[in-house]
Amino acid sequence: MISVEDWAEIRRLHKSEGMAIKAIARQLGVARNTVRAALASDGPPKYERKASGSLVDDVEPQIRALLAATPDMPATVIAERIGWEHSASVLRAKVAELRPFYLHADPADRTEYQPGDIVQCDLWFPPKVIPVAPEVLVVPPVLTMVAAWSGFIAAVLLPTRQTSDLLTGMWQLLAGSFGGVPRMLVWDNEAGIGQHQRLTVGARAFAGTLGTRIYQTRPRDPEAKGVVERANGFLQTSFLPGREFSSPADFNTQLEGWLPRANQRLLRRTGARPVDRLEAEVTAMSALPPVPPRIGWSERVRLGRDYYVRVAGTDYSVDPTVIGRFVEVHYDLTTVRVTCAGQQVAGHARCWDSRRTITDPVHVATAKSLRTAYRTQRTAGRPTAWMTGEQVGQRPLSVYDDMFDLTRLGMDTDVGAVAR
């Protein structure tokens, strides 16, 4: 078998130089039949060694039978069933080669997006702890929203994955980053949005106010929102490395400063920069509603003697002067407010940790003064000997004789004994 260099030289001499087969064979020192074969071939010579076979070929019928019955059977189980005692890597390679013949194909189609049509939403949990209190580290979710046509990314760190926080974050990004409402918001099976393609009450109200549709994909179908999945991976590999955060607010500040640079990168999928296509994307979207949707969380409760209200697992103090009255508790991503009859009776920065107690010193001082006044009023209204420290007088027993006039009735009873 001649080399590729000789094959190329034979064809050059014959075509360019016009040399005869006999002359080429004499010049290169090869047989004339070799020259004829090189001129007749369509491609360069390639060495192919005859397959020597493998031990796993003898058990291939058994492997096929097991895969036909259970296509997703692991290679380790197959090795146990067929009694394989040789190299595990050889068996795994053979199983990987045969398995596609028995699995049902699940192709993923390419989707063509239109401007203003879809914004994909997802939660990204960065693998880095964020301090929310002294010696308290948490990993809250990051809401990521990506316009599918332009690839423009918007993201914000949220305290929880509850419905109220998700809707508040969505409205913040739609109003602040996009400035419009797409025809569809695509989510996975996130419980705060809905499950089994049945939206929560808050999500339905949010979509109705914005005049859009919230669509939930099937479970375990990440390809349906691959644009935002790739964005999450980009955040983890390009934003997170080498960064340190002092608080959730610091995380959002750094993220907000980094996203403009991220949206200026050239996307291979579109061949353009997301920031250059954003204007066309927003123009195709519908306008923001004139009245913002009801976001955050609100509840009406009666304030008990323990003048605290619970929000997302954390207790916040309230002005104790409204104990026993109904109060309205409101919170968003950053603040917690409590009102009574339209007047604010508590205001706190929201704590991102759970099972904590947030107390306003003013409320503690007010409670102390109210407690002192209550005890003073109770003492003045119903004085008792042990409260005043006065000595209690004792009446003589003859007073009881005169009161009941026992002598007139002819009773010889020892009144003193009865009294005693």
Name the nearest CA neighbour of 183 among 284, 291, 290, 289: 284
DSSP string, 12-28: HIIIII---HHHHHHHH
User: CA triplet 339, 346, 342: central angle to 5 degrees?
Assistant: 20
Q: Global pTM? A: 0.69
What's the first-to-final CA gap in the chain, in angstroms? 136
Question: According to the CATH classification, is domain 118-284 in 3.30.420.10?
Answer: yes
Distance of CA 63 to the CA centre of its chain: 41
Which amino acid is residue 180, in one-letter code?
Answer: G
Q: At what angle do helices 4-12 and 32-40 cross, to 10 degrees?
A: 80
Q: What local confidence, expressed as pLDDT, does residue 106 receive?
A: 77
Evaluate whether 60 touches 98 at the Cβ level (below 8 Å): yes
Q: What was the pLDDT predicted at 47?
A: 76
The domain locations on the chain are 4-40, 55-101, 118-284, 297-365, 390-420
3-state DSSP assignment of residue 186: strand
With beta carbons less than 8 A apart as the criterion, state whether 337 and 317 touch.
Answer: no
In the chain, count of helices (H) and strands (E)? 15, 16
DSSP state, residue 291: S
Look at residue 298 in the predicted model and tell me its pLDDT: 87
Question: Phi-psi category of 53—alpha, beta or left, where left has phi over 0 and alpha has psi -120 to 50?
Answer: left
Contact 295, 332 (CB under 8 A): yes
Beta-sheet pairing, 297-302 with 142-147: unpaired
Please state, in angstroms and rounded to a whole number, the distance separating the CA atoms of residues 1 and 7: 10
Residue 185: count of CB within 10 angstroms of its CB: 23
Residue 27 has a CB neighbour count (10 Å cut-off) of 13
Kindly give, in sequence order, each residue whose CB lies less than 8 Å from that of residue 403, ignoring residues fewer than 6 positions away: none
> Strand, helix or coil at 99?
helix
User: pLDDT of the chain along its 420 residues, tens only?
Assistant: 788 888 899 989 988 888 999 999 999 889 999 999 988 888 888 877 777 778 898 999 999 999 999 999 999 999 999 999 999 999 999 999 999 999 988 777 778 899 999 999 999 999 878 887 777 788 899 999 999 999 999 999 999 999 999 999 999 999 999 999 999 999 999 999 998 879 999 999 999 999 999 999 988 787 889 999 999 999 999 999 999 999 999 999 999 999 999 999 999 999 999 999 999 999 999 999 998 898 888 899 999 999 999 998 899 999 999 999 999 999 999 899 999 999 999 999 999 888 889 999 999 999 999 999 888 887 766 555 444 555 556 777 777 777 766 555 555 544 444 444
d(CA 28, CA 35): 9
In sequence order, what E strands does 17-141 have? 118-124, 130-133, 136-138
